[in-house]
Structure 1
Amino acid sequence: MNNGKPCRKDLLCTINQASFAVDDVKLYLDTHPCDAAALEYFHEYNRVRNQALKEYAKYYGPLTIDTTVASCTDRWNWINEPWPWQEGWC
């Protein structure tokens, strides 16, 4: 953390890892819809992903349209921060 702000790179890493886990288990659940452990895994990593997206939006601006409500209260902030690929994180 830097002055109470979480590290942007760490948040992006968490978002990328959780997004991969969610996408991967979604594919598995397409063929195994009754697997309770896989469904629990999906819910856990979906929660982690959504929380990280909200935290990122709070400090650095939204990455997805779903998180614009929390971060764009007074103006449209998307263009004010560097895009993730501009700093070599993707």
Structure 2
Amino acid sequence: MTERDMMLKKIGTLKFAVTDIDLFLDTHPGDAAMLKKREEYESQLEPLITQFEAQFGPLTKCENDANTWAWVKDPWPWDTEG
């Protein structure tokens, strides 16, 4: 597994955790422990996304400021081995 793949997996894991906690907090808005956990995951996610985009380019079209088409640069997920 490449460094890029490992970073994408970590980003996906953290994004899933934040989204899952958001859904939980919709029904349990006063749960201080989960609010703290969400902030912890979010604080890990933001620098990881910044690092990924600095090394490999934007994750989504919306993240792209400089070049409108940079987000479609190779390799596509199906172009990599394994």
Superposition TM-score tier, normalisation by shorter sequence = 0.7 to 0.9
What is residue 87 of structure 1 aligned with on the other side? 80
Percent identity over the alignment?
35
Runs (4+) off by over 6 Å: none
Q: Deviations over 1:8-57 (max 9, x none)?
A: 01111110110110011001100111111100111111122222111110
The equivalent residue for 2:19 is 23
What count of residue pairs does the alignment treat as equivalent? 80
SS at match of 2:64: helix
Q: Counterpart amino acid of 2:56?
A: Y
Q: TM (normalized to structure 2)?
A: 0.78
What is the Cα-based RMSD across aligned positions, in Å?
Answer: 2.3
Which one of 24, 32, 35 corresponds to residue 39 of structure 1? 35
Structure 1: tracts of 5 or more residues without a match: 1-5
